Amino acid sequence: MNTANKLTMLRVVLIPVFLAVLYIGFPYSGYVAMGIFIFASVTDIADGQIARKRGLVTDFGKFMDPLADKVLVVAAMLWFVGTGVMPAWAVLLVVAREFAVTALRLIAAGNGRVIAAGKSGKVKTACTMVCVVELFLGFPTWANWAAVAVIVATTLYSGIEYFIVNRDIFDWKK
DSSP string, 74-131: HHHHHHHHHTTSS-HHHHHHHHHHHHHHHHHHHHHHHTT---PPPHHHHHHHHHHHHH
Residue 62 is predicted with a pLDDT of: 75
Residue extents of the structural domains in the chain? 3-168
Residue 57 is predicted with a pLDDT of: 79
Sign of the Cα torsion 56, 130, 34, 20 reads: negative
Residue 111 is predicted with a pLDDT of: 86
Yes or no: say if 84 and 144 are a contact pair by the CB < 8 Å rule: no
Instruction: For the chain, 174 residues long, give each residue's pLDDT as a single digit of tens.
Output: 788 888 889 999 999 999 999 999 999 999 999 999 999 999 988 887 887 888 877 778 777 888 899 999 999 999 999 999 999 999 999 999 999 999 998 898 888 888 877 899 989 999 999 999 999 999 999 999 999 999 999 999 999 999 999 999 887 665
**CATH number at 3-168:** 1.20.120.1760
Global pTM value: 0.91
What's the number of CA atoms in the CB half-sphere (13 Å) around residue 101?
Answer: 24
